[in-house]
Each structure stands twice: as structure tokens, then as C-alpha cells.
Amino acid sequence: MEQAGPPLSLNELSKFKIEDNITFSLSDTEAFIKSIAQRKAAVLESRFRPTSELNSLPQNQLPSVRYWSEDYTPFKLLEIESSVAENLQTWIDYHISKADNPVKGLGYLIEAYHAKAASYYSGRPEGASRMILTILELWYAADVATIQELPLLADYNPPIPAVLWQSLLLGSMRDMRRLQRLEIYIRDRVPFADKADKPYILGSFGSPGSFAVKFFRNSTQLQQLKYEIEADAAAKRQEKRDEFRKAKTECGFESKANSLAVFVNEWPLPQHELAAQATVFEMAAPVTFSQWRDLTVYLINDVLLCRPRNPSTPRTTYSLKSYQPLKPWNATKPSFRIHLQSETKPNAVIH
């Protein structure tokens, strides 16, 4: 048999001393071990400072809607929806106990959230349903707060078309219970309002049972305002009469008097008493009511996309907020969505 490899030389093994390879001197080990307990943790300052647009809020505070990057949109929407679902009742109880007016803030939150959510949930029925549920609960909070300040509002049927809620696609039992609570709230409000036999809250201008007329009759402030307007109008009318008589007397000729420019003295309020009362109400309506009314119309028209069956467009419109004779007494903010308009043109100078 041939040898597979070169012969091994074993002579070198006789020179190998195994003790030289298993014994090591670690003279500094003990000092090293003792120093471990005396060490201080090294703190390295990191330059990375990550920020988050998601916030943890207390239960009595709803999230604010301000600018956020598009990358955060689904997370911010979820933050708002979760906060409303979990903390809304706590928030309502907190603000009612403080007797403040949260309706304006709720209106801003609804409109800002709706602007973001409607775009993001376009073509996503489940997300759009969750958006509507969230907005309905925020409107519910505004309704509760408004009734707390203006109990008369409870006598009027809330014009929210609850039949549309049956079309919502809700994916959890919790959301279904939330919707059920809203349905019960509306259902309980309707019989109470029907028993009071009051007209439609968003219309019925100048009718005996309208909110504006009822509120006017219980408000000494509005009654005093109406008295001041009518007293001022009567004084100005008498002043114009005196000026005309004086001019006619001084001219001496009736033909010349007739050629004078005649300034028509227009009575500023409607001749119908109830319409006059409703007009005065609109000039100094409670801010909370105006905010609630704007928010309710926004929910019906912009969120639920409801439209009147027989819409009518006036041929001409002259708004109360721009009517000069009443401007000194008009305290209602012009930014409100709902305001009075008339098709009757105010009297101008007659030559």
C-alpha cells in the first residue's frame, strides 16, 4: 500500500511543554473587578429628538384640530374619533358643571374634523360612517350644552333626520351602542317637543309659537331694545315732519315745496307685531343659540347632505345685518351662517 501523504515528524512534540499553555498570569484582574462597582454610567447625549403629532389628553379635554402633515392624517383622525368615543360624556359633565359655553369650540372641531375626514374617507364607507357617528356625538354634546343654557330649546323638535342613521356601516358593537344612545336621545327629545306643540325651530319666522317670539316675550332686555328702536324711529319721523312743514312755510309757494327732495321716513321694524318681535330677537339673539343653529344647519346640509324638497330662491335679498336704520342696535355677529333677509327693498330718497 502506498503512503497517502508525507511522513509525520513527531520529534517536535517532545519539545512541547503543556504547562506553558494552560497557565496564565492575570495579575491586574482583581483590581479590575473591584473597579466595576465604582464606575459611573456614561451618558451620551443624543442629537436625535423625535417629535410626535399625537397627544395624550385628559378626559375632560377634546383634541384640537390644527395643521398636521398628510402622513399623520389617519392617526390624527383616529385620535379624534377615539377621544370622542371614550371621553365625550366626561367632557360634557365637566363643562356643564363649569357653566361655560363650549358650543363654539364644538362647532370649530366639527367643521375642521369634517373637512379632513370627508376627504380621507371618500370611497371608504366604513370610515365615512365612523366620521358621521363622531360628528353626531359632537352635535349631541352641543345640544346638551345649549339646552343647559337655554331650556326653552328643549320644547322644539331637533330637525336631525335620524332615519339616515340606518345606513351607517359600523364595525363594532361599541359603535352600535353609541349610535343607539344617540337614537334614544333624539327619540326622547321628539315626544317632549311634540307635547309642547311648537313649530319648526329653523323656520316659522314670526309665528306665535316660534322660538324667537317665545324668547322675546320672556326677555326684558329684548323688550327694552324694541322700545328704544320704536322710540327713536318715532322721534325721527316727527323730526322729518317738522322739517318739511318748516321748509314749506319758508318757501311760501306750494309748487316750490313740492319740488324739494323728500326723504322718506321708513319705519325700521315690520308692521306685524310678531314679525317685529322676531326681528328684534335676531338682532340680539343669544350667542349660544346662534352657534347651535349654525352647527345644526351645517350637520344637516354639509355632513348629511340633506336638501329641501322645494327650495326657493328670492328674487332680491336685503339682509338685516346691512340695514342701516337698525345697525346701531344690531349686536348679532355678521359671520353667523343664518340671518334674516327680506325681498322688500328699503325706501330710498324720492325726488
Instruction: List the grid coordinates of 236.
Output: 325721527
Report the C-alpha dihedral over residues 189, 195, 198, 199, rounded to 10 degrees.
80
pLDDT digits (tens, 9 = 90+) for 242-301: 777 777 676 655 555 555 455 566 788 888 999 999 999 988 999 999 999 999 999 999
- Residues 27-66 pLDDT 10s: 777 777 777 777 777 666 767 666 666 666 666 677 777 7
From the list 203, 173, 233, the residue with the least C-alpha distance to 296 is 203
Q: What is the pLDDT of residues 166-220, one digit of tens each?
A: 889 998 999 999 999 999 999 888 776 666 677 888 888 888 889 999 999 999 9
Local structure of residue 299 (DSSP, 8 states)? I
Cell of 176: 352600535
210 C-beta neighbours (distance < 10 Å), count: 22
Going by DSSP bridges, is the β-strand pair 341-342/318-319 parallel, antiparallel, or unpaired? antiparallel
Query: Which of the four pLDDT bands, split at 50, 70 and 90, describes residue 117?
Result: very high
| pTM, 2 dp | 0.76
* Separation between Cα atoms, residue 230 and residue 226, nearest integer Å: 6
Q: Where are the domains of the chain?
A: 70-196, 211-308+315-342
Q: For residue 293, which amino acid is it?
A: R
With vertex at residue 272, the alpha carbon angle to CA 271 and CA 278, rounded to the nearest 5 degrees, is 110
Of the pLDDT bands very low, low, confident and very high (cuts 50, 70, 90), residue 73 is confident
